[in-house]
Structure 1
Amino acid sequence: MSNAFPGVGHRYFVDFQAFRVELDFASETSLTYYNLDQSGNKVGSETVTIKVEAITDGIFLVTWQESDKTTVVHIEDYVRNTIVTNITASDLTFDQFHGTFRQLP
Protein backbone atom coordinates (compact mmCIF):
# COMPACT_ATOMS: atom_id res chain seq x y z
CA MET A 1 0.00 0.00 0.00
CA SER A 2 1.32 3.41 -0.95
CA ASN A 3 0.83 5.97 1.82
CA ALA A 4 1.85 8.95 -0.35
CA PHE A 5 -1.00 11.45 -0.52
CA PRO A 6 -1.60 12.20 -4.24
CA GLY A 7 -3.33 15.53 -3.61
CA VAL A 8 -0.18 17.47 -2.70
CA GLY A 9 0.65 20.14 -5.25
CA HIS A 10 -2.63 19.71 -7.12
CA ARG A 11 -5.97 21.48 -7.44
CA TYR A 12 -9.30 19.68 -7.76
CA PHE A 13 -12.80 20.64 -8.85
CA VAL A 14 -15.28 18.91 -6.53
CA ASP A 15 -18.99 18.58 -7.33
CA PHE A 16 -21.24 17.57 -4.44
CA GLN A 17 -24.33 18.54 -6.52
CA ALA A 18 -25.65 20.63 -3.60
CA PHE A 19 -22.51 22.78 -3.85
CA ARG A 20 -19.14 22.93 -5.59
CA VAL A 21 -15.67 23.70 -4.31
CA GLU A 22 -12.10 23.83 -5.51
CA LEU A 23 -9.47 22.20 -3.30
CA ASP A 24 -5.85 23.33 -3.55
CA PHE A 25 -3.47 21.11 -1.57
CA ALA A 26 -0.25 23.02 -0.83
CA SER A 27 1.12 20.18 1.32
CA GLU A 28 0.01 17.27 3.49
CA THR A 29 -0.81 19.83 6.17
CA SER A 30 -2.22 22.81 4.23
CA LEU A 31 -5.30 23.14 2.03
CA THR A 32 -7.03 26.18 0.57
CA TYR A 33 -10.64 25.58 -0.37
CA TYR A 34 -12.64 27.90 -2.59
CA ASN A 35 -16.43 28.04 -2.58
CA LEU A 36 -17.77 28.23 -6.13
CA ASP A 37 -21.00 29.78 -7.38
CA GLN A 38 -23.21 28.16 -10.06
CA SER A 39 -21.00 29.65 -12.80
CA GLY A 40 -17.81 28.30 -11.23
CA ASN A 41 -16.59 31.66 -9.93
CA LYS A 42 -14.72 31.68 -6.63
CA VAL A 43 -16.90 33.39 -4.01
CA GLY A 44 -15.03 32.66 -0.80
CA SER A 45 -12.00 30.82 0.49
CA GLU A 46 -10.07 29.76 3.53
CA THR A 47 -6.69 28.15 4.10
CA VAL A 48 -6.84 25.44 6.75
CA THR A 49 -4.50 23.02 8.46
CA ILE A 50 -5.35 19.46 7.49
CA LYS A 51 -4.57 15.98 8.73
CA VAL A 52 -4.25 13.19 6.17
CA GLU A 53 -4.28 9.46 6.81
CA ALA A 54 -4.12 6.65 4.26
CA ILE A 55 -6.98 4.17 4.63
CA THR A 56 -6.02 1.82 1.80
CA ASP A 57 -4.55 2.11 -1.70
CA GLY A 58 -5.73 5.42 -3.15
CA ILE A 59 -8.22 6.21 -0.37
CA PHE A 60 -7.46 8.89 2.21
CA LEU A 61 -9.10 10.40 5.27
CA VAL A 62 -8.66 14.20 5.20
CA THR A 63 -9.85 16.31 8.15
CA TRP A 64 -9.79 19.94 9.23
CA GLN A 65 -11.47 22.60 11.34
CA GLU A 66 -12.45 25.95 9.85
CA SER A 67 -12.10 29.35 11.51
CA ASP A 68 -15.79 29.34 12.54
CA LYS A 69 -15.24 25.92 14.22
CA THR A 70 -16.95 23.96 11.43
CA THR A 71 -15.37 20.49 11.29
CA VAL A 72 -14.94 18.71 7.94
CA VAL A 73 -14.10 15.05 7.39
CA HIS A 74 -13.50 13.74 3.86
CA ILE A 75 -12.99 10.26 2.49
CA GLU A 76 -11.20 10.93 -0.80
CA ASP A 77 -10.94 8.04 -3.28
CA TYR A 78 -8.24 8.85 -5.83
CA VAL A 79 -8.86 5.57 -7.69
CA ARG A 80 -12.55 6.23 -8.44
CA ASN A 81 -12.42 10.05 -8.11
CA THR A 82 -15.22 10.02 -5.56
CA ILE A 83 -15.47 11.89 -2.30
CA VAL A 84 -17.68 11.81 0.80
CA THR A 85 -17.77 14.82 3.10
CA ASN A 86 -19.15 14.94 6.62
CA ILE A 87 -19.63 18.46 7.93
CA THR A 88 -20.44 19.46 11.50
CA ALA A 89 -21.23 23.18 11.50
CA SER A 90 -20.44 25.48 14.40
CA ASP A 91 -24.12 25.26 15.47
CA LEU A 92 -23.64 21.44 15.64
CA THR A 93 -25.87 20.66 12.64
CA PHE A 94 -24.56 17.72 10.63
CA ASP A 95 -24.58 17.10 6.87
CA GLN A 96 -23.15 14.43 4.61
CA PHE A 97 -22.63 14.82 0.85
CA HIS A 98 -21.32 12.47 -1.83
CA GLY A 99 -19.54 13.82 -4.88
CA THR A 100 -16.97 13.45 -7.59
CA PHE A 101 -13.73 15.28 -8.25
CA ARG A 102 -11.27 15.87 -11.05
CA GLN A 103 -7.79 17.31 -11.12
CA LEU A 104 -7.47 20.78 -12.61
CA PRO A 105 -4.63 21.77 -14.96
Structure 2
Amino acid sequence: MTDAFPHAGKRFEVDYGELVAINAYSSDGNTLNYEITSGPMAGVSGTVEYQWRRLGGETYAISWQEADGSTVVHVDDFQAGRSLSFFTTRQGQFFRLEGSLGQSPEL
Protein backbone atom coordinates (compact mmCIF):
# COMPACT_ATOMS: atom_id res chain seq x y z
CA MET A 1 0.00 0.00 0.00
CA THR A 2 1.55 3.29 -1.05
CA ASP A 3 -0.91 5.79 0.42
CA ALA A 4 -0.71 6.83 4.06
CA PHE A 5 -3.54 5.82 6.37
CA PRO A 6 -5.85 8.87 6.46
CA HIS A 7 -6.15 8.67 10.26
CA ALA A 8 -2.41 8.35 10.97
CA GLY A 9 -1.40 10.53 13.91
CA LYS A 10 -4.85 10.32 15.54
CA ARG A 11 -6.26 8.50 18.56
CA PHE A 12 -9.68 6.86 18.72
CA GLU A 13 -11.74 5.31 21.48
CA VAL A 14 -13.78 2.23 20.67
CA ASP A 15 -16.54 1.42 23.16
CA TYR A 16 -18.08 -2.03 22.84
CA GLY A 17 -19.81 -1.89 26.22
CA GLU A 18 -17.98 -4.80 27.85
CA LEU A 19 -14.64 -3.59 26.43
CA VAL A 20 -13.33 -0.06 25.85
CA ALA A 21 -9.99 0.64 24.17
CA ILE A 22 -7.87 3.45 22.80
CA ASN A 23 -6.25 2.93 19.39
CA ALA A 24 -3.54 5.47 18.55
CA TYR A 25 -2.29 5.35 14.96
CA SER A 26 1.33 6.53 14.63
CA SER A 27 1.98 9.53 12.43
CA ASP A 28 4.19 7.37 10.17
CA GLY A 29 1.13 5.21 9.40
CA ASN A 30 2.91 1.94 10.22
CA THR A 31 2.14 1.17 13.85
CA LEU A 32 -0.79 1.24 16.20
CA ASN A 33 -0.63 1.61 19.97
CA TYR A 34 -3.63 0.02 21.67
CA GLU A 35 -4.71 0.01 25.28
CA ILE A 36 -7.78 -1.68 26.73
CA THR A 37 -9.08 0.81 29.28
CA SER A 38 -12.06 -1.06 30.75
CA GLY A 39 -13.52 -4.53 30.87
CA PRO A 40 -12.06 -7.89 31.85
CA MET A 41 -8.89 -7.28 29.81
CA ALA A 42 -8.28 -3.74 31.15
CA GLY A 43 -4.60 -2.86 31.22
CA VAL A 44 -3.63 -4.92 28.18
CA SER A 45 -1.65 -2.76 25.77
CA GLY A 46 0.89 -3.00 23.01
CA THR A 47 2.33 -1.62 19.82
CA VAL A 48 1.75 -3.51 16.59
CA GLU A 49 2.18 -3.11 12.86
CA TYR A 50 -1.18 -2.92 11.10
CA GLN A 51 -2.60 -3.06 7.62
CA TRP A 52 -5.65 -1.25 6.32
CA ARG A 53 -7.90 -1.14 3.30
CA ARG A 54 -10.56 1.42 2.42
CA LEU A 55 -13.88 -0.36 1.93
CA GLY A 56 -15.71 2.74 0.72
CA GLY A 57 -16.35 6.23 2.00
CA GLU A 58 -14.80 6.50 5.45
CA THR A 59 -15.07 2.78 6.24
CA TYR A 60 -11.84 0.83 6.65
CA ALA A 61 -10.81 -2.74 7.41
CA ILE A 62 -7.85 -2.60 9.82
CA SER A 63 -6.01 -5.73 10.95
CA TRP A 64 -3.09 -6.70 13.14
CA GLN A 65 -1.57 -9.52 15.14
CA GLU A 66 -0.58 -8.97 18.76
CA ALA A 67 2.63 -10.23 20.38
CA ASP A 68 0.83 -13.15 22.06
CA GLY A 69 -0.55 -14.35 18.72
CA SER A 70 -4.04 -12.87 19.10
CA THR A 71 -5.47 -11.57 15.83
CA VAL A 72 -7.71 -8.53 15.45
CA VAL A 73 -9.79 -7.19 12.55
CA HIS A 74 -11.75 -3.95 12.80
CA VAL A 75 -14.28 -2.63 10.33
CA ASP A 76 -14.38 1.01 11.37
CA ASP A 77 -16.72 3.61 9.89
CA PHE A 78 -15.06 6.86 10.95
CA GLN A 79 -17.84 9.01 9.51
CA ALA A 80 -20.72 7.18 11.24
CA GLY A 81 -18.70 6.59 14.43
CA ARG A 82 -19.25 2.80 14.44
CA SER A 83 -16.81 -0.06 14.91
CA LEU A 84 -17.06 -3.80 14.41
CA SER A 85 -14.28 -5.89 15.92
CA PHE A 86 -13.51 -9.54 15.32
CA PHE A 87 -10.68 -11.04 17.33
CA THR A 88 -9.27 -14.40 18.26
CA THR A 89 -7.26 -14.83 21.46
CA ARG A 90 -4.14 -16.97 21.65
CA GLN A 91 -6.31 -19.60 23.38
CA GLY A 92 -8.57 -19.74 20.33
CA GLN A 93 -11.56 -17.85 21.78
CA PHE A 94 -13.38 -15.87 19.08
CA PHE A 95 -15.18 -12.58 19.84
CA ARG A 96 -17.44 -10.33 17.76
CA LEU A 97 -18.08 -6.85 19.13
CA GLU A 98 -19.96 -3.80 17.89
CA GLY A 99 -19.92 -0.31 19.32
CA SER A 100 -19.06 3.34 18.99
CA LEU A 101 -15.93 4.92 17.58
CA GLY A 102 -14.84 8.46 18.34
CA GLN A 103 -11.70 10.53 18.10
CA SER A 104 -9.95 10.81 21.45
CA PRO A 105 -7.88 13.82 22.48
CA GLU A 106 -4.20 13.38 23.25
CA LEU A 107 -3.38 12.81 26.91
Which TM-score band applies after superposition, normalised by the shorter structure?
A: 0.7 to 0.9
Unpaired runs of 5+ residues, structure 1, are none
Q: Give 1:43 shift.
A: 2.4
Given the two structures, how large is their TM-score scaled by the length of structure 1?
A: 0.86
Task: Give the % identical residues.
Answer: 26
8 Å CA contact retained: 1:29, 1:52 = no
- Residue aligning to 1:5: 5
Shift of 1:4: 6.0
What's 1:79 paired with?
79
Q: Name the structure 2 match of 1:35.
A: 36
Deviations 1:20-45 (A, max 9, x none): 0011000432100011036xxx7231
The alignment yields a C-alpha RMSD, in angstroms, of 1.7
Q: Matches of 1:21 and 1:83 in 2, distance apart?
A: 12
- The 8 Å contact of residues 78 and 102 in structure 2, kept in 1 or not, is answered as no
| CA deviation vs aligned residue, 1:76-99 (integer Å, no higher than 9, x gap) | 101101000000111211110001
1:44 alignment partner AA: V
Detail structure 1 runs of 4+ shifted over 6 Å in the superposition. Answer: none
CA–CA distance in 2 between the matches of 1:80 and 1:5?
18
- Note the 1:50-89 alignment, pairs <5 A: 50-89=50-89
Correspondence for 1:16: 16
Q: Which runs of 5+ in 2 are unaligned?
A: none
Paired residue total:
100
**Alignment match, 2:91:** 91
